[in-house]
Structure 1
């Protein structure tokens, strides 16, 4: 760089420092605006990355280790004729279906459940109260309760679901609707289901499956009420992340003679689900970033256009004294670059603090890459340069003669 070029650079820097110092309030407001916009953009990217990591972990812990198996009727053949009848009831699953499922490697628990249609014979009421409470009625085995991993009080009575006794486990919300207090000792409380009194033996809350609003009765009672198990489903809980491989063999294990007569829920691999989550969150962050990018550019442009108008006489004097168009525009380019760089640097800090705060509030693990603190200043500088384009060009169009004579 020649001495003359170096002198020009020094002059531009001095002009920028003088201008920014003379208009401190305006400069501070624009820097804050750039900091907030770049900080919000970086925060949205950081939060989306943190959220995707958390969602992926949650999927691995829940969605990917839970699948269901159901009976698939064959054309022209009822479910009951596929598997036979026991005591006049149409049965679609083998009697030892739970044992077959749990014999598979990586399967931790499996159990049957059957939703019972609500009518007069299955209406749920509190004993002594004629009013029906709209409570979903579910038949389940103890294996299903284990697979659902629901919080129970007490936990010692679940085995009664494998019998045909008139007992019921109430969801906490269902118990509240029936005005039955939730406690570790449910003895003495009964509910009326149809014409039969059921002894309350416990309470259940949400787990992998939400049972808080349901009344859970023995599975055999539900099969009798529905005259078969054609609508039953087998819920299988596997080791974390093993849902996909287990889903590939569960049908053959349950019905080795006719695996096509049962269907299993489709469980995507962790990488597929994570890629989908990342894509959706990245798109959201991109739209937010684009909006903030345009908004910041307009804000800086407007501020610098006002600055050009306020400095018309000064610019005209510079031109009259021999300053070139490039020299005049360089002042505005440099001013925009400095404002953008300072605002972007501040925005990186603001974004990082926001990511950590959101992660802490949700008990997540914050994920902040090192590039986070490089992108902020670079993005802020780019926004400043882009926003300076029109004001710099507008400054070069000012006529020296007209500017000097203007008031």
Structure 2
């Protein structure tokens, strides 16, 4: 009896499954077939991600630098200055203001500077009108200790040099006078003053950056200083800052407390940070628009890909590929394309953040949530952009696709 040979069982095409590695290879093959178009679409995604990441990174780096500065300088500094009288004229602080403020129990240190009616010039040949907006201030020897300032070059005034024609220049004042090293002389108030030092920028007392500082005794003897302070700088115990602030005006000028201004320099830095955050939110929105435009570019690429590859789709359908597999193939291409753009955008955004932070002297900070969020947004947009073309490709029947011109 002849036995019919058994025919091996073949699974129906609908039962076939593509492994993740197969899906990735099929999707990558589709991208390699059109490298220039893929590159341009990926660039669109990369620009959007890089813009968003750079905005977040630069803003975070700026905040980190500000926090580092405040940690170093402290938030317990208060500044007292004269306001206006009831007649609209400039008020003056009493000569004893700093000494009276120093009697407040939580106050740890007090120092003062006073404006002098004099000008500083590089030499005695400079016309009198070219002052460079440099103020001349009388100062106490303990000023830097109170402000947490630092001398960038040379030395600060001491008990000896504060009595003689010596001057310390703020960072901007030195540049305007073209003084790069101590030891030279400048023409100040009709006399020659030797430059003892040059200050680093003082973030909590910007008025010192454009000032020429002379000792209190020398200002009285050589420049006719009247002894009235213009700014009184007060350091208090951190928990008592607000309490001290509330009594400073009445303590500095008991006869006219309404003519006294009291400020907290760290508040100005915090306000600056809030302004930076507002600008950052605006730029973040522009980055989102760029990312959306990149997503539209991905969608356009995938739609054209479906139209160009109808014969390929028909052949695969004729060989047994299911609608789901066709749909998965084009969706994988879209996700891979977006992932390439997203990865490039992340690297570009980190590079821009690091470069800008380096030029500003900030610590480079790129939040992990921003990187993860950028990549997630990329894949989400890529999936959304490729979904419609993938569905359209899967709906093509083998005969319709193969008959396409």
TM-score (norm 2): 0.69
Partner SS for 2:127: coil
> 2: CA distance between counterparts of 1:223 and 1:246?
35
1:191 aligns with 2:180: no
Contact kept in structure 2, 1:70 and 1:232, CA below 8 Å = yes
Q: Among 264, 269, 289, which residue is 2:287 paired with?
A: 289
Report the alpha carbon displacement of residue 382 of structure 1 after superposing the two structures with TM.
1.0
Partner of 1:129: 125
Aligned equivalent of 2:99: 99
Match of 2:198 among 204, 211, 219: 204
CA contact (8 A) 1:153 1:204 kept: yes
Query: Is 2:338–2:378's contact at 8 Å kept on the other side of the alignment?
Result: yes
The match for 2:382 is: 384
Q: 1:405 to 1:316 in 2, by over 3 A?
A: same
After superposition, where does 1:95-174 map in structure 2 within 5 Å?
95-104=95-104, 105-114=106-115, 116=117, 122=118, 124=120, 129=125, 131-132=127-128, 133-135=130-132, 136-142=134-140, 145-146=143-144, 147=146, 149=149, 151=151, 153-157=154-158, 167=165, 169=167, 171=169
Q: Is the 8 A contact 1:169 1:216 kept in 2?
A: yes
Q: CA separation in 2, counterparts of 1:101 and 1:226?
A: 21
Cα-to-partner distance string for 1:340-392 (whole Å, 9 max, x where unaligned): 34654676566567656666676644545554564454333212111113423
Partner of 2:6: none
Cα-Cα RMSD: 4.8
Aligned partners of 1:252 and 1:60: how far apart in 2?
A: 29
After superposition, the Cα gap between the structure-2 partners of 1:368 and 1:76, relative to the gap in structure 1 and judged at 3 Å, is closer
In structure 2, what is the equivalent of residue 18 of structure 1?
A: 26
SS of residue in 2 equivalent to 1:301: helix
Cα distance in 2 for residues equivalent to 1:318 and 1:98: 88
Q: How many angstroms apart in 2 are the aligned matches of 1:353 and 1:175?
A: 34
Taking the TM superposition and a 5 Å limit, the aligned residue runs for 1:298-337 are 298-316=296-314, 328-337=326-335
Matched position secondary structure for 1:48: helix
Contact 2:97 2:252 in 1 (8 A): yes
1:24-35 aligned at under 5 Å gives the runs 24=32, 26=34, 29=39, 34=45
CA shift digits 1:219-244 (9 cap, x unpaired): 66599879895x93323456789866
CA distance in 1, matches of 2:273, 2:122: 49
Report how many aligned residue pairs link the two structures. 380
Maintained 8 Å contact 1:241/1:270: no
**Following superposition of structure 1 onto structure 2, how do residues 396-407 of structure 1 map, counting pairs within 5 Å?**
403-407=401-405
Task: Return closer, same or farther for 1:222/1:289 CA change in 2, 3 Å cut-off.
Answer: farther
**TM-score, normalising length from structure 1?**
0.69
Deviation at 1:284, TM superposition (A): 4.7
Which of these residues, 75, 94, 98, is aligned with residue 86 of structure 2? 75
- When structure 1 is superposed on structure 2, of 330-339 and 57-66 the one drifting more is 57-66
Q: Corresponding residue for 1:340?
A: 338
**1:48 to 2:59 alignment:** yes
In structure 2, C-alpha distance between the alignment counterparts of 1:124 and 1:69, rounded to whole Å: 25
Q: How far apart, CA to CA, are the structure 2 residues paired with 1:222 and 1:362?
A: 42
Q: CA deviation at 1:264?
A: 0.7
My pick for the range that moved more, 217-226 or 337-346, is: 217-226
The structure-2 alpha-carbon separation of the partners of 1:9 and 1:103, relative to structure 1 and needing over 3 Å to count, comes to: farther
| 8 Å contact from structure 2 (residues 182, 198) kept in 1 | no
Q: Unaligned 5+ residue runs, structure 1?
A: 81-91, 117-121
Structure 2 unaligned regions, length at least 5: 1-10
The CA distance in 2 between the partners of 1:192 and 1:352, in whole Å, is: 48
Give the Cα–Cα distance (whole angstroms) in 2 for the partners of residues 123 and 115 of structure 1: 8
Query: Tell me, what secondary structure is at the counterpart of 1:55?
Result: helix
For residues 257 and 207 of structure 1, what CA distance do their matches in structure 2 show? 35
Against the structure 1 CA distance between its residues 331 and 245, is the aligned structure 2 distance closer, same or farther, given a 3 Å change threshold? farther
Residue 83 of structure 1 is matched in structure 2 by none
| Farther off after superposition, 316-325 or 99-108 | 316-325
> By how many angstroms is 1:291 displaced?
3.0
d(CA) in 2 for partners of 1:248, 1:5: 83
